[in-house]
Amino acid sequence: MTPIALPPLTKDLVRVLIDADTIQRRVNELADIINRDYDKIEGTLILVGVLKGSFIFLSDLCRKLNVKHAVDFISLSSYGSSSKITGNVRMIMDTRENLEDKHVIIVEDILDSGHTLDYLSRNFAARKPASLKSVVLLDKPERRRIEFKPDYVGFEIPDVWVVGYGLDYAEKYRTLPYIAEMLPVEE
């Protein structure tokens, strides 16, 4: 993954870490893998996007799926009122779908500390789905505090602050078509 120079959009962004074309190629690859894995399931696959960060990734991914699927959302918070991870995950909005006996894939923008996906996986497993997997666009293994291994990974990235393609800082940069490295946030 070779960094690409960033057009001079803002002084906060250091470089493009993953360009839009590379993201789309990987989303297509992930969709192909999921299509193969769920080709013969009984019933409907439910993709549960973790708001807000996963919405662009989820949108692109589900449009590439050929298997019968439904989309639902959940909203969690693990940052409190700052950019520091607290380790305390709080559910803000639950799914509308009953997950019992359903095949479920959690769709997350980034796997960082592991707290959010660990919490969500334990919560969903208690609902007795037929199967439960996770797909993350970005994996930052250097930041892991709780061991969690996603089933599908888009990209492994270094321990840098990233924005774009759904990821934000203070609601900025979320709709960039690429993943950019941002200058570290000072508290």
Point out the residues that are catalytic: 112
Q: Are 111 and 50 in contact (CB under 8 A)?
A: no
Two tokens at 14? 């250091």
Distance CA 102, CA 97 (A): 10
- H/E run at residue 72: strand 69-77
DSSP secondary structure code for residue 123 in this structure: H
Two tokens at 7? 């057009």
Strand arrangement of the beta sheet that strand 179-182 belongs to: 13-18, 179-182, 162-163
Distance CA 30, CA 67 (A): 13
